[in-house]
Structure 1
Amino acid sequence: MGRMWLDHPVLWHSSRISSGYNSTVMTLEQFKLIRSRWHNWYTADWDYARATVYFFCAGIAFFILVNILFQLGQRTRLFRKAPLYSKVIAASRALGSRQIYVPVVDYYSPPLSAVVIVAGFVIFFAALTFAAHPYVWPNVAMGHSPPIATRSGWISIAILPFLLVFATKVNLVGMFTGVSHEKLQVYHRWTAWIMYITSLIHTFPFIVQNIRRGEMVENWNTSSFYWTGVAALVPQTWLVFMSWGPIRNRYYETFKKLHFIASGIFVPALFIHCDFRLTSWDYFWASAALYGFSWFARYGRTLINGLTSDATLEALPDNMVKITVPTKLKWRPGQHFFVRFLDLGIHAASSHPFTVASLPGSGAEKDGGRNVIEIYARVLGGITARLGAVAKSGGLKTSRVLLDGPYGGVEAKLDAYDRVLLLAGGSGVTFVVPLLLDIVRGSKSGKTMCRAVQIVWAVRSIDALSWFDDILSRAVKSAPEGLMVSVSYYVTDGSTIIDDAASTSTKDEKVVADDVISKHAGRPILSGIIKEFCAEQGTVAVATCGPDSFNLDVGNAVSECELAIVRGKSVCSEIYLHSESYSW
């Protein structure tokens, strides 16, 4: 190569003193244009990169304010009596509950609220990229960098810190907005796509311009900007296309490892490509600080959680594994840990998220005062296949583990609502069971306003009911006076159900909230269950965890009920929905 990777001497910022222009071969209008805002190469970072930062910060600040108002409303209940408040909240939650399914490509959209936010990203960055004219200088003396390439490059660089923050587990955005890390993944993926598109818009004008001028070979051989740009664009292309849902979900173990490797190539290559032009490296320092904080916080907490935890593995019916870990840690119902199994060979190289199905203190009496983390995992592939094989073997049935967490959980206080509906599909029951147990526990101590809880659990086979049958039965029996608890099982494989607590029912039978445990054959009609549950006065909280199709039906049914509140056609005054997915 004709020069070093970086210009020397290496500086923090490059100079803003304009040079290389020959004003004598430009018209007065052209000279004024290259010195004006939104067109001046030497202030393009202020115009475009800072605009990108301000846009993201304004959006984050808005949702911080929303979170503060939500938490204030949860604690004081001051706003709930205001009709306007109820309608505004219901309208926003209707948008947050609704999803779209595209059967042709088997695609489940994120909630429409996320779609609207992403659409806002697209509109803003499209306007920022294409609003200013011209896209290419009419006079070669006005500069070597095409204006549209300059601005899109700065937009790409400024997106980088936010893209990385949205991907982290200890997430500063999530801490202040109250949104758990897994729900921010949608913004990580879409900002990655936007950055990729703006990177392409940055790249191709240079290629076209240099081919037209016959300078492509010379610039490739003499300027590191061209080949370092390609060195960054290749792994970036891999990152965005291999993160496509069907590929990511099917080959997740491989995807995760290669994703980190490709990122480790992309960011340094982009760093070298920028070559400290203006303030470009500031965005890398910010990225390093934000990502570094998350990394040290996460692994530091793992060390604090302890290096001596032991997990016991137990095989359960219907291809499930129960993982039990005695610990001194505490967590909230619905939260999850990332667990690293140190004695499972290659799987020790990565950690995996598992929802805790127990409450702190639930096993304290029988485990020397320690809390007991209980995890139920369905055996599919990768780590769960290995766990299943170990649990079924006659040999090792324990493993040392590292615990990273807890994370997630339900943002709202469910026991602050008059009635709570908990819905689960398959192993999603591990998320809703601790929510039920927590409400029952709180009701015994008089710390809850909830007066009725209904849990609906759909499973593929009747054998699966054994996972939590005893726990749910005890929860129903131990519920104090004033709290009605009902449990409805649905077995979807077509088995005939003989129920000791209630008469045999079919899949279209109406489910009534009462202190009973009922069993049903067939799939639950979720829309009917939800609409009936929301047909009484008061406030309602709904929590769901299941397959994508299950959560979609729940979310769309809740959205319909929210719209009824907006139209003034519902006696229910407020509905809160928390939706948890199997994966993200």
Structure 2
Amino acid sequence: MGRMWLDSPVLWHSSRDRGEMNMALTPAQAALIQARWLNWYTADWDYGQTTLAFFCAAIGAAAVLNLASSWRARRSAKRPAGGAPQRAGVLARATAGFRFFTARQFRVRATGWYAPPLAAMLAVGAMAIVVLSLMLGPRPYYWASAAMGHSQPVATRSGWIALGIMPFMIAFATKVNFVTILTGTSHEKLQVFHRWSAVLMYITSLVHTFPFIVREIKMGTMNESWSTGTFYWTGVAALVPQTYLMALSWGIFRNPYYEIFKKLHFIAAGIFMAALFLHCDFTLTSWDYFFATAAIYASVWLARVLRTLYTTRLGLPATVTRAAPTLLRIRVPVPRAGGRLKWAPGQHVFVRVAGLGGAHALTSHPFTIASVRADAAAELVVREHRGLTGALARRVDKEGAGGEWTTRVVVDGPYGGVHIALQGYDRVLLLAGGSGATFTLPLLSDLAAHIKEGARCQHVEFVVAVRDTESYAWMADTVSAATALAPAHIATRVHVTGAPAKLGGGSGKGDDSTSESDAGSGHEAGRPDLAQLVHDAAHAGAARVAIIACGPDGFLYDVRNAVAGAQLEILDGFGPCEEVFLHTESYSW
């Protein structure tokens, strides 16, 4: 007779009827197994729902903070422009204190590892404390007698905690999700919570597993249970892919082979979820967590598919050319009249290139839109690496020098961007490292247009660091056009990191004293002093300052910690300005 992978008849929930009490139990033992936090028949309520409540409360608190931040930004933007900054009030100092934690970052120099922002680390720490306390706080961990139950208390509760984490772990990983809608945090910044909630789910899964194995070995029934039942088979079938997912999701394995990692990650996740579904076998309300997870994932997947079909149908025509020796430009024409693909400056999209064929036609990759919405096309400027961009570069090179390759692309998005109106700030500092200019460049163009129309913002400084002048050439016309719209309010600086000496043109100080032909831009050799740029922007006499940065990890590390220092100055009540807003975008997630 074959194995019965699910109990029959299959139900939505299993019964909570304990039946007759084992006569071998003492009165004290009988009372203990029926006590709250130890009762197997209510463990899903005690631990699964408590875990759900914690995550919901944390997301709700983040949503309230997001609403408060948006309200304060709108309120501050209505104040008259100009004038010296006032001493920060209680609300401004409290905001600065909170933003210190969102800006401050640490790194390990020896390994080159950059930690998430301090606020994310504290949130992950709180998540770990609650989960581990819920799992290890109640006593006892094990029953004093075999008659008290087959499942040990620590194994029971750790299993339900793992199931309670599961829907949120999946939600944190999706591109369209309710967490982003409520908190205003873009999907790529939620990846840290996806990864660490997965770690906690794995830890609780191991704690759930080991007591059963130890008990069976001690009783000498392991071989029998393995041979005749499905409980251990399905448990191992779930734990093996879960271990794979955990082990190979660390950056040292994930980043060098991301395209292969992503495909195998989805396959392993599917096997894990299917095996775990069978393992739970509709015990109490265990399948409710799977149905909730499926509803979350299926709804966002369907939303993405329907939006993609609406905006790009089965693909839009696109041309791919060389923008620089190591840069590619993807141009996707979008008709102004009736165009369905719409975006805001700084947003990114996921692109699937159908013309490449093979595996590349089945994968999508994120690229920032380097053009503003007023343009007739979405332009994506990307740096050549391995994988998709390498394949694109080889295909373009076949067309010869200066040639272009025409293909069709499917565009999913847009996502991300800056959700606060930058034109409402008195001063804006845009910082870009290399191709990070694809994020800050459309923001510059958008700000220039708003300043020309009389926006509050009075000064914008655009600073970009590139390897050579050819890496700047693709953006030069856009920078010049933006500066020409408000030459008295916009200053630009270009740092050529591969240049041995200062290049001609401009004062290089970011002021407005450069000649008209230079359009307020200075070209300098070497890396920019990011900490000094942030310090100068905060001490320039503006009441509200916004700093936007996009670049490699080391670039953002310097910007973040410089902004964190400015927040502490505001927090002590004697800061140089009333508010410093920071938004960062990273090359990788």
Contact persistence 2:171–2:179 (CA under 8 A) = yes
Q: Distance in 1 between matches of 2:168 and 2:315?
A: 35
Deviation for aligned residue 1:514: 5.6
Contact persistence 1:308–1:401 (CA under 8 A) = yes
RMSD (Å) for aligned C-alpha atoms: 1.6
Query: Does residue 583 of the first structure (1) align with residue 588 of the second (2)?
Result: yes
- 1:514-534 C-alpha deviation (Å, 9 max, x unpaired): 662101111111101110110
Percent identity, aligned pairs only, is: 49
Contact persistence 2:550–2:586 (CA under 8 A) = yes
Q: Report what 2:206 is aligned to.
A: 200
1:154-169 matches, cutoff 5 A: 154-169=160-175
Q: Distance in 1 between matches of 2:212 and 2:317?
A: 57
Q: Distance in 1 between matches of 2:378 and 2:3?
A: 58
Q: Distance in 2 between matches of 1:166 and 1:537?
A: 37
Query: Does residue 268 of the first structure (1) align with residue 268 of the second (2)?
Result: no
Unaligned runs of 5+ in 1: 363-370
Q: Report what 1:427 is aligned to.
A: 435
1:452-471 matches, cutoff 5 A: 452-471=459-478
1:215-230 matches, cutoff 5 A: 215-230=221-236
Q: Report what 1:529 is aligned to.
A: 533
1:394-473 matches, cutoff 5 A: 394=399, 397-446=405-454, 448-473=455-480
Deviation for aligned residue 1:176: 1.4
- 1:311-356 C-alpha deviation (Å, 9 max, x unpaired): 1011122310011001222100000110110010121111111100
Q: Which among 387, 403, 407 is matched to residue 382 of structure 1?
A: 387
Q: Report what 1:478 is aligned to.
A: 485
Q: Report what 1:16 is aligned to.
A: 16
Q: Report what 2:82 is aligned to.
A: none
The letter of the residue matching 1:65 is V
Deviation for aligned residue 1:513: 5.9
Deviation for aligned residue 1:575: 0.4
The two structures have a TM-score, normalised by structure 2, of 0.94
Q: Report what 1:245 is aligned to.
A: 251
Q: Report what 2:53 is aligned to.
A: 54
Contact persistence 1:21–1:143 (CA under 8 A) = no
Contact persistence 1:73–1:79 (CA under 8 A) = no
1:313-324 matches, cutoff 5 A: 313-324=320-331
Deviation for aligned residue 1:258: 0.3
Contact persistence 1:50–1:158 (CA under 8 A) = yes
Q: Distance in 2 between matches of 1:343 and 1:320?
A: 19
Q: Report what 1:135 is aligned to.
A: 141
Query: Does residue 337 of the first structure (1) align with residue 345 of the second (2)?
Result: no
- 1:283-313 C-alpha deviation (Å, 9 max, x unpaired): 0000011100000000111100122411101
Contact persistence 1:2–1:223 (CA under 8 A) = no
The letter of the residue matching 1:341 is V
Q: Distance in 2 between matches of 1:568 and 1:528?
A: 21
Deviates most, 80-89 or 465-474: 80-89
Q: Distance in 2 between matches of 1:197 and 1:153?
A: 10
Query: Does residue 152 of the first structure (1) align with residue 158 of the second (2)?
Result: yes
Q: Distance in 2 between matches of 1:391 and 1:241?
A: 37
1:410 is paired with a residue whose SS is coil
Deviation for aligned residue 1:3: 4.0
Q: Distance in 1 between matches of 2:58 and 2:512?
A: 41
Q: Distance in 2 between matches of 1:215 and 1:106?
A: 49
1:488-507 matches, cutoff 5 A: 488-502=493-507
Q: Report what 1:368 is aligned to.
A: none
Q: Distance in 1 between matches of 2:534 and 2:528?
A: 11
- 1:117-176 C-alpha deviation (Å, 9 max, x unpaired): 000000000110011000000111000001000000000011111111100011111011
Q: Distance in 2 between matches of 1:564 and 1:140?
A: 62
Deviates most, 73-82 or 468-477: 73-82
Structure 1 ranges of 4+ moved more than 3 A: 78-82, 510-515
1:25 is paired with a residue whose SS is coil
Q: Report what 1:357 is aligned to.
A: 370
Q: Distance in 1 between matches of 2:72 and 2:108?
A: 36
| Change over 3 Å in CA distance of 1:264–1:20 after alignment to 2 | farther
Query: Does residue 88 of the first structure (1) align with residue 88 of the second (2)?
Result: no
The letter of the residue matching 2:372 is L
Q: Distance in 2 between matches of 1:553 and 1:261?
A: 38
Contact persistence 1:456–1:488 (CA under 8 A) = yes
| Change over 3 Å in CA distance of 1:537–1:443 after alignment to 2 | closer
Q: Distance in 1 between matches of 2:21 and 2:372?
A: 69
Contact persistence 2:352–2:409 (CA under 8 A) = yes
Contact persistence 1:181–1:408 (CA under 8 A) = yes
Q: Distance in 2 between matches of 1:451 and 1:514?
A: 16
Contact persistence 2:315–2:411 (CA under 8 A) = no
| Change over 3 Å in CA distance of 1:514–1:49 after alignment to 2 | farther
Q: Distance in 2 between matches of 1:394 and 1:181?
A: 37
Contact persistence 2:428–2:461 (CA under 8 A) = yes
| Change over 3 Å in CA distance of 1:279–1:514 after alignment to 2 | farther
Q: Report what 1:367 is aligned to.
A: none
The two structures have a TM-score, normalised by structure 1, of 0.94
The letter of the residue matching 2:290 is F
Contact persistence 1:490–1:522 (CA under 8 A) = yes
| Change over 3 Å in CA distance of 1:19–1:513 after alignment to 2 | farther
Q: Distance in 2 between matches of 1:412 and 1:561?
A: 20
1:155-194 matches, cutoff 5 A: 155-194=161-200
Q: Distance in 2 between matches of 1:262 and 1:514?
A: 59
Q: Distance in 2 between matches of 1:182 and 1:194?
A: 20
Deviation for aligned residue 1:77: 2.3
Q: Distance in 1 between matches of 2:460 and 2:279?
A: 58
Contact persistence 2:436–2:587 (CA under 8 A) = yes
Q: Report what 2:318 is aligned to.
A: 311
The letter of the residue matching 1:402 is V
Deviation for aligned residue 1:13: 0.2
The letter of the residue matching 1:311 is A
Q: Distance in 1 between matches of 2:19 and 2:441?
A: 68
Deviation for aligned residue 1:78: 8.5
Q: Distance in 2 between matches of 1:317 and 1:206?
A: 60
Q: Distance in 2 between matches of 1:27 and 1:342?
A: 70
1:468 is paired with a residue whose SS is helix
Q: Which among 523, 526, 530 is matched to residue 519 of structure 1?
A: 523
| Change over 3 Å in CA distance of 1:441–1:376 after alignment to 2 | same
Higher relative CO (Cα under 8 Å, sequence separation at least 6) belongs to 2
Q: Report what 2:83 is aligned to.
A: none
Contact persistence 1:486–1:514 (CA under 8 A) = no
The letter of the residue matching 2:530 is L
2:355 is paired with a residue whose SS is coil
2:578 is paired with a residue whose SS is strand
2:366 is paired with a residue whose SS is strand
- 1:232-283 C-alpha deviation (Å, 9 max, x unpaired): 0000111111110121111100000000100110001000000000000000
Contact persistence 2:25–2:147 (CA under 8 A) = yes
2:120 is paired with a residue whose SS is helix
2:575 is paired with a residue whose SS is coil
